[in-house]
Structure 1
Amino acid sequence: MKAIVTRRIGTPPEMAVEERPTPSRRDGFALVRMHSATINQLANSLRTGGFGAPPVPLVMGNEGAGTVEESSRFPAGTRVAVYGHGDIGVTVDGLYQQWVRVPEHRLLELPDALTIGEGAALTVNYLTAYVALTQVAHLEKGQTVLVSGATGGVGGAVMQTSRALGTRAIAVVSTSAKARHAARAGAHAVIDLSSQNLNQAVAELTDGRGVDLAMDPVGGPRLGELLRSVRRHGTLVSLGFTGGKQAEIDVVDLIVGEKHVTAYGLHGDSEDNTAKGLEALGRLAAEGQLHPTIDSTFALDDFEQGFARLTSREAVGSIVLEL
């Protein structure tokens, strides 16, 4: 079978398509024929040395979708989404290969409403969104949620998931083109940072009150701006750092407003918790409330073009690799 193997971590990394033996099934595992996997920030951070020191050689890829070939839990031919948790594609070989052996509890049967390419983008971003909203932010129906990077993979998932859970979602984007996409995607309001001031726009949209919750997959200087837009006793949840690892916070605003700052990292969560999250995602997707946006699709041999698209910061939705 073909696999994309990382031989050296760094800038640039050394990665190439190689031939490898097809794995065999073991008890508690399913053998899955992979059709698609996502090219995401985790894989890019790992391959460039920005997130730990993964062992090499390593096949990366932490989420994807395929069809079951052998399993004690799923019939052969079942379409499934695959979630890699904190090890697959990180410390052990992952999903950028044509066949994988994966623990059966990390599989989610795809509803008919999703294509297999869309299913590849259903786990990491949407699990992050669902667990962060329900268990970290303790979201309540009717609240107003501010979402930075709202047309990216995580941001788009937060937008859809928060709407599915009954909130009013305000999208924060960086260009007019992304603003148009966010509006078409169902945002209740859109703030375009290329022409609007974030805090002023939030004040206008909330009658000066501020938002109940801010979800930030971007990080960097944006985090401090978002916190200023949160109401008294409101919460900001940090979900990523594509915009930078350092942020400044107005401590006076934090204290006077008695605001809460917290974070969520999916890959450190428990297997039991993420398994329950997968079940919830399956229900919401089957109801038509979750529908991953695919920015672009690349063939296996063109994986570097996919990473270039990711780092361009122009992608709207997930980038999918066809295996």
Structure 2
Amino acid sequence: MRALYFDKAGSLDNLHVQDLPVPAPREGEALVRVAAAAVNPSDVKIALGEMPMVSAPRVPGRDFAGEVIDGPSEWQHKKVFGTGGNLGAGRDGSHAEYMTVPTEGLVELPAALGYVDATACSLGYLTAEAALRRLPDEWQGTTLLVTGATGTVGSAAARIAASQGARVLGTAKSDKDLADRPDLPDIEWIDLSAEPMSESVRHLTDGKGTDAVVDVVGGPLFEECLASLAPRGRYVVLSSVGEPRVSFDLVDFYRRESTLTGLNTMRLSIGEAADVLRTLLPGFEEGLFTPPPVQEITLDDAPDAYWAVNNRSAPKKFVITFDANAS
């Protein structure tokens, strides 16, 4: 089979496409013929050796969609998708024509999603749902602030929370960001260039602040996110752009009884990730949860796609498609 591969982590220059043996499934595993596989920022960080659990040599790729062709009889010939666990980091991942997957990590493909849309959705919606589970148990009547709401994870968080009755405030850097995403849900937008974000939040909430924050930006907006919280507000952060070290007013933090939580989806087992995705299936089936804009590429294009994602110059979410497997 053909696969994207790196002999050692640390540089994207180590990525190359080569022929490898088709893996054989072990007990409790299935062999999946990959039809489509997304390229995520975490895949790039894995290749750069910046994520935990990375071992080399390795075939990267955390998201997959395809057909089971070998393994337990109950899974034979089923169309599946999934993500999570140590895929692409501690075991070979999806950027190959075939991969093995523990059966607890398989989710049947919903009728509403094709292979490309499924793999484009899986990690983004997994991350968004995992973040929201660390926030209020009841969203009806609450306000959620989402930074980076035009991105894959941010827009997924906005869709999920809005479907459960939340009022969603989202940040955007420019009108162009919004124009590039006509598919975005009903969000009250905050222009980051107009005034400090926390002031915008206070204006929109009559001075109260937001009940919760999902932050996919981190560093540059960290203090503003904390300042945007209402008393006893909850804040989950899952990424940080630029300088990872931040500071904040600890007195203000404890006086308002704020809660700060981190999220790392690589700590979810592949079975836990599959369980989260299954809870989202009704939303996919009803068309409430839709994929981000996608650019399909070939496996040979994958190294360049990694560079584009690393340089933040990817206009859409890259999805590797394997034409021979897509039917």
TM-score, structure 2 length as denominator?
Answer: 0.90
Counterpart residue type for residue 178 of structure 1: D
| Pair 1:169–1:183, CA change in 2 (3 A) | farther
Name the SS for the 1:61 alignment partner. coil
The CA distance in 1 between the partners of 2:270 and 2:10, in whole Å, is: 30
The CA distance in 2 between the partners of 1:21 and 1:230, in whole Å, is: 52
Unaligned ranges ≥5, structure 2: 323-327
- Map residues 46-61 of structure 1 onto 2, 5 A cutoff: 46-52=46-52, 54-61=54-61
- Higher mean C-alpha displacement, 165-174 vs 5-14: 5-14
Contact 2:12–2:303 under 8 Å retained in 1: no
Name the SS for the 1:62 alignment partner. coil
The CA distance in 2 between the partners of 1:157 and 1:73, in whole Å, is: 34
The CA distance in 1 between the partners of 2:281 and 2:74, in whole Å, is: 15
Aligned residues: 322
Q: Which residue matches 2:238?
A: 239
Q: Which residue matches 1:20?
A: 20
Q: Which residue matches 1:322?
A: 321
Cα RMSD (Å):
2.2
Contact 2:68–2:75 under 8 Å retained in 1: yes
Query: Which portions of structure 1, spanning 4 or more consecutive aligned residues, are displaced by more than 6 angstroms?
Result: none
The CA distance in 1 between the partners of 2:290 and 2:233, in whole Å, is: 28
The CA distance in 2 between the partners of 1:238 and 1:139, in whole Å, is: 20
Displacement after TM superposition at 1:78 (Å): 2.5
Name the SS for the 1:51 alignment partner. coil
Larger relative contact order (CA 8 Å, sep ≥ 6): 2
Q: Which residue matches 1:173?
A: 172
Matched, 1:90 2:119: no
| Pair 1:104–1:161, CA change in 2 (3 A) | same
Contact 2:83–2:274 under 8 Å retained in 1: no
Q: Which residue matches 1:2?
A: 2
Displacement after TM superposition at 1:281 (Å): 1.6
- Map residues 94-173 of structure 1 onto 2, 5 A cutoff: 94-173=93-172
Contact 2:104–2:274 under 8 Å retained in 1: yes
- Map residues 68-79 of structure 1 onto 2, 5 A cutoff: 68-72=68-72, 74-79=74-79
Contact 2:120–2:294 under 8 Å retained in 1: no
Instruction: Render the CA deviation track for 1:250-291: whole Å, top value 9, x for unaligned.
Output: 223312322111122222135554343121022221122211
The CA distance in 2 between the partners of 1:226 and 1:190, in whole Å, is: 15
Contact 1:145–1:211 under 8 Å retained in 2: yes
Percent identity over paired residues: 30
The CA distance in 1 between the partners of 2:110 and 2:270, in whole Å, is: 22
Q: Which residue matches 1:301?
A: 300
The CA distance in 2 between the partners of 1:279 and 1:314, in whole Å, is: 32
Contact 1:30–1:69 under 8 Å retained in 2: yes
The CA distance in 2 between the partners of 1:278 and 1:163, in whole Å, is: 18
Name the SS for the 1:248 alignment partner. coil
| Pair 1:307–1:12, CA change in 2 (3 A) | closer
Displacement after TM superposition at 1:232 (Å): 0.9
Displacement after TM superposition at 1:74 (Å): 4.6
